[in-house]
Structure 1
Amino acid sequence: MYTQELIKGKKWLAMADGPKHPVTGKRRQISRRGRTKKEAEQRVLNAIAKLKEYGIDETIVRKMTFGKLAAEWLRDYALTSGNKNNTIRIRQKEINILNKFMVQKIITEITTREYQKILNDLTEQGYARNTISGVHTTAGMIFRYAVKVKLLKESPVSGTSVPKKRLTIEDIENNKIEEKYLEKEELEEFLLTVKEFGLDMDLERFYLLAFSGMRSGELCALKWSDLNFETNEIRITKTIYSETNNMKDYELTPPKTPGSIRTIQIEDQIMEMLKDFQTEQKKIRLRSRIPAEDYHNENFVFSRENGYPFLQYNIIARMKRLLEKTSIKKRATPHIFRHTHISMLTEAGVDLPTIMKKVGHDDMKTTMKIYTHVTEKMKKDASQKVQETFGNILNIGIS
């Protein structure tokens, strides 16, 4: 080992040969500085030991900030994971949140305790638990990548967890399962309002959402080739996304999960409605003055006059307008129709696996909550009906 005193009594340099580079086979010299000769030599020995045992090159690691690591991981994730663009954008947003805390932090300086504090701070700042869970998942993938490519010995995320926020009375009151779906009477009122006050395409879109359980993005992405009028089936293979909410700036991507790719049976009346709608759309196209070269001929079921598809925000705006004309007080978005459809199928006596398959849920958590709640409600209603019907018999012999 070579040593040199750089500043008398204050700084020493030590240098020694480390293991050869595993790819190039070239010689690697390891140099370190210290306040004493012994400290500089020990730092060189430690660096060589890490290279030999873990393959970790400290010369690279000590310049690697979390921001650089996250960007490197995201490029690798986008190329190798097979995830669609929307998922990549979500991961980028989660990285942006992490960057607020440690973008310039050297990754070897990020401790488990410090990372747990970040999760705690996000909770205290009022971030939704789902958001924090997403951030935590992304951080875990980033640091596992760092271990895999020999930048870290172990991940600081290991052993940490998303804090459980203590529920307030308001949280409990606002989190009733009944708020997540429309009761039969509410659905009937809303659809009657659609019939009376709905604008162009409202009737077809809202009836289809209610009786199919599909997501609004899946509905906007539907093409006429996805509908089979002979078998009364709809094939769901895609969803639509637009970062700018511009009808011409959209992309079609696979649905949310593999289980979301499905073929569903639709009631005769809904399919007849859509068949009439298709006939009317063809007439509108024939009357249209839009030149063929300007027409977006992609065969969308719910399209504008120029052929471009409507996006989810249009359905949200239409629903808000209609809700204001009803007595419904629930904070409802188009997603409520998925949950409503689950409750409808449950009341109709459909089994849970079939319900999950129809709505395309890989995760049965939400479906199970609604299914259980409606089933329990049906049991209570059944008991009440028995009491109402046979009350006179039940009262015989009771003083």
Structure 2
Amino acid sequence: MKKIKIIEAGNELGLGGTEYTIQLISKFLNKENFEVTVVGVREGGARVKLIQDLGINVMILNGDMVKLAQLLRETDVFHWHGDGTLTPEIFSVVKANKPKLVLMTNVFGLYDHSPFYDLVDYDLFISKMILIRRMFRDSHLEDNFASKRKALPYPVDVKHINSLLPSDSQLKLFKQEHNLQGAFVVGRIGRADIAKFDIIALDGFAAFAKRVSNAKFLLVGATQEILAYAAALNILDKLIVFDTTSDFKQLLMYYKAMDVFLAASRIGESFGMVIAEAMTVGLPVVTISTLDRDNAQIELVDNGQTGFVVQRDKDRIADVLVFLYEDEKIREILSASAKRKVTKEYRADKIVKSLENLIYNHLNIGAAKYKESLLKDYSLEIVNDYFNRCSDLWEPENRS
């Protein structure tokens, strides 16, 4: 078959999660069937070289809409990655030069109430939760776009992560350097942004540390506000603080030094890549349900199977941490289940094959089909599953 020309595009190509997804999709698209070009419409960034090193063509347009029009006329599929808004400057060019298929990976689940939305053949939400919320909010519309809206999770590069994990000797040396030998390490990795960290996590850890003397908190991405709150709780001596880094191998050292990953975000998660990464390396995850905000973390974490979901309460957080501290066997079971779930539902090659199938079917191309598509349509089944998860919270009496 003639190769399908596809553009993977975003505003920029920095180190954020959206740009990482562009990189992974570009990496895993079948090069026998696809000719891939990555486009930074506004600017480039640190990820340009990372993508080029994969042998993939990258173009930075610096806002040149004439060049964008030329590229669109020469392509079959335009795949836009963004928050759901459709900037007129860009999408008027898409309208005038529409390729055979326009896809959008919708990170935050926004809906652009404009004619430009008609250009999008498939609106792909990065979690079922985000899709459900969008459909509920648009239930009053005459057309709720159910046929074009689907959920396709962010891809997780499981094989790459496993190839970069530290050796036992490297991990031992790291723990020695940071006085973590014999400690029970609770951890968090994320941006140094107070919106992405709920300080209830520190309240819960402080209560836990009063009951477990060897408790430590490994914190990547602290703000002055977070550190001041830790000082007020008198737990600064329990904190091991690191700056955020683009060195993924170093991040994996931090993950592996932990015994439990504590995921608590003020604004919740639209997907939760750090949770998925923690699960990939085999960390039990404790997370907090945020019903009134993004809440995809409870979609990633199956309560009692791959980790625990708790209500936003410091005593519940402390209780579940004590439970995990006291039962190494439970930690091992959760670890194995977490790894299996990521491999089954989020592995990058499976996610990208599902995307390829969507493209083949739309273009009516008889390419080999991947039978186990991870694309999910909006349905009563996923709605019921989400609401069941909202009420399925860990309680101390569930220890049996």
Larger radius of gyration: 1
* Range into which the TM-score falls when normalised by the shorter chain: under 0.3
Q: Structure 1-normalised TM-score?
A: 0.27
Higher fraction of strand? 2
Q: Structure 2-normalised TM-score?
A: 0.27
Q: Which has the higher contact order (CA 8 A, sep 6+)?
A: 2
